[in-house]
């Protein structure tokens, strides 16, 4: 330990010693004084106001403030020695069992009834009781046992606020608190990045005070002010980054692609067998105006599953083709790219078959470019793209590879943008002489604050109406553990739908029989749960059991591309009754005759993912049915989440729910590289007003000082908080 003054960049080993610094670096990725100072407490405990033990989830790493109620020693059955069981409570009626293996009589003497302590470990369940096995702990008051320093420090907060930090088994929260105390005693705060006028206008305290009070709050009011100030830093940095990106993009030149009367777009509109919804028409007008300008369009098109985004995107592509350019649609999977190819060819008819018999006079060509094309087919497709004969080009990330050259790329449409990183989109953009117009589509509804924060550099259009002819989808939870007969009924329901001439999906969380992949979570479960259901295991069981005699196909990401395409073609043609699949069917797969979906182990999927999956049924004239099968018991968070999904088909309500139940870092901080984000406190739900205010201030500041040249401390803060490597999340990479 040292008493010399420290700055944000001071290595922790100079402040807390080599051993502790190594643990902080290895387990929590904390290397400097600044890293530790910005490692904020996740919550604050206060005697008399404790975390409700009853709300703890199995599998969660927790630190609880609790009081010892009783202890019991009993012999172990499987091995020699005794087991010490300590029951602790938090004053709410909930209890937790702490188990210590081996002969540890000294712990029994130490953990006397009535003692308060902080207990840290992973929540497990044994015979219906939640427990921590061999937890780390520190007892409050009475010192001793090598934890005197921690006790003294924590006792400073007794009756006030005890910070509980995001911790690791090897670095419990009280060790972090002790290190923070050492750093704060020597810490020189950085120059305040927020302009003085902004701090005065928004009544924000200084950065040094905020950083001290968030770790060692003198009162609840002081803690609120500290958190509010630091949230402003986060929101302002994000909004400045987005506003700057938008400002720079607006200055780029782009070739205008105005609508051409009497062209392909008009001919397409004339042959559409249905009327566009008012929403499709309004969004079409917005996009058409954007395409006609001399600056690149950057627009996000969001809409519910089945709201008609593809038709809107196709009309934009045709406007660009009419203006002499090409349009590329980037899809996340080959299955979806091939489906888009078939769907767009069907919609265009003779307008998409230039050079073929029966083609329209001013038809274009539609090419599919994927990684699995044979050499001859690839050469032919690339020649069509390079010559400009193919006005519309569809593909996966294969479009990004060298060797795919466009004659005049005017529009990039990115489907399901959350599957792509910013570098991939920029690689495609670089294939144009001038920046092309960009349309980003997502069927995952986005709450207003997320759109403002994550997609803040894009204009946003929303399709909220469903086209006529779309059928309602009923959703129900099937509680397989409590009522096994309900699962039997679900399989009979599938047979009834097939007998009526319809088709069904069965979705599993795992592929099985092979290495883990993106759609393949590892089978082992530390919490003692059985492995998730797997396609490779479920399909033969269904074929031999409840769905015996039906035509069953299998689809997952590990199949060869030609096999995947053949399976989807068979299902779309009605040659298969049931498709057992992973989430590879989550987006874009369109089989109107499929009316029922059974999602096995539904609690293993996210809210938005379940909403996406069930959008695969009810796409025709017959009503859709989605059955969410789960062993989650009534009253558990997992079951409540499923009940919420079953209760509404409003994707925006579900997106809010999804956001509430996910850590903010999953929305804002996670990057594809796995790097740690500095965004800690901002809540997209609770801080909507603050985010809106931060955006307004960011727009005003960038308008007068686009590169923040007059605010060097702020520019440095923004660069540190949201550097280019972390900027993937800004475009939902």
Q: What is the pLDDT of residues 174-183, one digit of tens each?
A: 889 889 999 9
C-beta of residue 6 within 8 angstroms of C-beta of residue 15: yes
Q: How confident is the model at residue 20 (pLDDT cuts 50, 70, 90)?
A: very high
Q: How confident is the model at residue 59 (pLDDT cuts 50, 70, 90)?
A: confident
- Convert the pLDDT of each residue in 312-322 to its tens digit: 999 999 999 99
Q: In percent, how much of the chain has pLDDT > 70?
A: 83
Tally of residues, the chain: 733
The more confident residue out of 587 and 372 is 372
Phi, psi values for residue 682, rounded to 5°: -65, 130
- Convert the pLDDT of each residue in 625-643 to its tens digit: 999 999 988 878 888 889 9
Could you give the residue range(s) of every CATH 3.40.50.300 domain in the chain? Answer: 264-463, 473-648
- Convert the pLDDT of each residue in 72-122 to its tens digit: 888 876 667 788 899 998 777 778 999 888 777 788 888 989 888 888 888
Per the DSSP assignment, residues forming a β-bridge with 685 are none
- Within 13 Å, how many C-alpha atoms sit on residue 248's CB side? 8
The structure's pTM equals 0.63
15-23 contacts at long range (C-beta below 8 A, 24 or more positions apart): 15/179, 15/182, 15/183, 15/186, 16/179, 16/182, 16/183, 20/175, 20/179, 23/170, 23/171, 23/175
Work out the average pLDDT over 226-235.
93
Could you give the residue range(s) of every CATH 2.40.50.140 domain in the chain? Answer: 43-164
Which positions ≥6 away from 449 have C-beta within 8 Å?
A: 684, 685, 687, 688, 691, 692
Q: How confident is the model at residue 716 (pLDDT cuts 50, 70, 90)?
A: confident
Tell me: domain 43-164, CATH 3.90.1300.10, correct?
no
Domain 473-648: assigned CATH number: 3.40.50.300
pLDDT for the residue 445: 67
> How far is it, in rounded angstroms, from Cα 157 to Cα 65?
13
Domain 264-463: assigned CATH number: 3.40.50.300
Tokens of residue 372, six digits:
């699995």
């Amino acid at each position: 330990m040292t008493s010399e003054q420290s700055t944000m960049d001071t290595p922790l080993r100079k402040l807390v010693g080599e051993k502790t610094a190594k643990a902080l670096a290895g387990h929590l990725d904390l290397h400097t004084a600044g890293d530790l100072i910005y490692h904020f407490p996740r919550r604050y405990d206060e005697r008399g106001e404790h975390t409700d033990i009853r709300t703890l989830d199995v599998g969660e790493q927790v630190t609880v403030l609790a009081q010892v109620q009783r202890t019991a020693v009993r012999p172990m059955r499987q091995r020699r020695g005794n087991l010490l069981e300590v029951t602790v409570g938090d004053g709410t009626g909930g209890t937790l069992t702490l188990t210590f293996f081996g002969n540890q009589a000294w712990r029994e003497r130490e953990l006397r009834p009535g003692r308060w302590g902080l207990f840290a470990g992973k929540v497990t369940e044994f015979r219906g009781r939640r427990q921590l096995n061999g937890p780390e702990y520190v007892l409050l008051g009475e010192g001793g046992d090598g934890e005197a320093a921690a006790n003294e420090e924590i006792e400073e907060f007794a009756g006030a606020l005890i910070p509980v930090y995001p911790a690791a088994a090897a670095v419990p929260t009280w060790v972090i608190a002790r290190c923070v105390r050492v750093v704060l005693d020597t810490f020189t705060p950085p120059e305040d990045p927020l302009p003085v006028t902004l701090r005065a206008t928004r009544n924000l305290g200084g950065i040094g005070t905020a950083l001290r009070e968030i770790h060692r709050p003198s009162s609840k009011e002081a803690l609120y002010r500290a958190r509010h100030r630091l949230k402003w830093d986060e929101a302002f940095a994000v909004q400045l980054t987005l506003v700057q990106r938008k400002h720079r993009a607006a200055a780029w030149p782009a070739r205008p692609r105005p609508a051409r009367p009497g062209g392909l777009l008009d001919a397409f509109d004339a042959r559409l067998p249905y009327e566009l919804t008012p929403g499709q028409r309004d969004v079409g007008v917005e996009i058409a105006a954007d395409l006609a300008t001399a600056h690149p369009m950057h627009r996000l098109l969001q809409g519910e599953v089945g709201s008609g985004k593809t038709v809107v995107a196709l009309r934009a592509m045709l406007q660009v083709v009419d203006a002499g350019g090409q349009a590329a649609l980037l899809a996340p999977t080959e299955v979806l790219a091939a489906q888009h190819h078939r769907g767009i060819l069907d919609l265009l008819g003779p307008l998409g078959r230039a050079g073929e018999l029966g083609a329209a006079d001013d038809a274009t060509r539609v090419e599919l470019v994927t990684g699995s094309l044979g050499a001859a087919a690839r050469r032919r497709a690339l020649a069509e793209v390079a010559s400009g004969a193919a006005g519309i080009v569809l593909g996966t990330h294969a479009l990004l590879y060298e060797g795919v050259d466009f004659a005049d790329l005017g529009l990039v449409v990115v489907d399901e943008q959350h599957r792509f990183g910013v570098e991939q989109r920029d690689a495609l953009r670089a294939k144009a002489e001038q920046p092309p117009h960009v349309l980003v589509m997502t069927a995952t509804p986005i709450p207003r604050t997320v759109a403002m924060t994550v997609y803040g550099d894009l204009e946003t259009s929303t399709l909220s109406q469903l086209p006529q002819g779309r059928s309602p989808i009923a959703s129900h939870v099937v509680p397989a553990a409590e009522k096994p007969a309900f699962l039997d009924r679900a399989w009979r329901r599938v047979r009834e739908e097939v007998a009526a001439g319809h088709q069904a999906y069965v979705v599993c969380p795992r592929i099985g029989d092979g290495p883990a992949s993106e759609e393949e979570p590892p089978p082992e479960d530390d919490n003692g749960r059985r492995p998730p259901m797997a396609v490779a295991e479920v399909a033969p069981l269904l074929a031999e059991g409840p769905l015996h005699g039906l035509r069953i196909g299998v689809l997952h990401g590990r199949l060869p591309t030609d096999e995947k395409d053949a399976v989807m073609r068979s299902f779309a043609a009605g040659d298969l009754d049931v498709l057992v699949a992973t989430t590879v069917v989550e987006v874009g797969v369109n089989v109107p005759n499929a009316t029922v979906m059974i999602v096995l182990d539904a609690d293993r999927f996210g809210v938005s993912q379940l909403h996406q999956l069930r959008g695969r049924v009810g796409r025709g004239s017959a009503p859709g049915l989605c059955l969410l099968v789960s062993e989650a018991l009534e009253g558990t968070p997992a079951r409540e989440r499923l009940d919420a999904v079953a209760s509404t088909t409003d994707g925006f309500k579900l997106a809010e729910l999804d956001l509430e139940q996910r850590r903010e870092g999953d929305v804002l901080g996670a990057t594809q590289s796995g790097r740690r984000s500095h965004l800690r406190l901002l809540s997209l739900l609770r801080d909507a007003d603050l985010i809106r205010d931060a955006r307004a201030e960011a727009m005003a500041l960038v308008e007068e000082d686009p590169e923040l040249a007059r605010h060097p401390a702020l520019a440095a803060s923004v660069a540190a908080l949201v550097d280019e490597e972390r900027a993937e999340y800004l475009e939902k990479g």
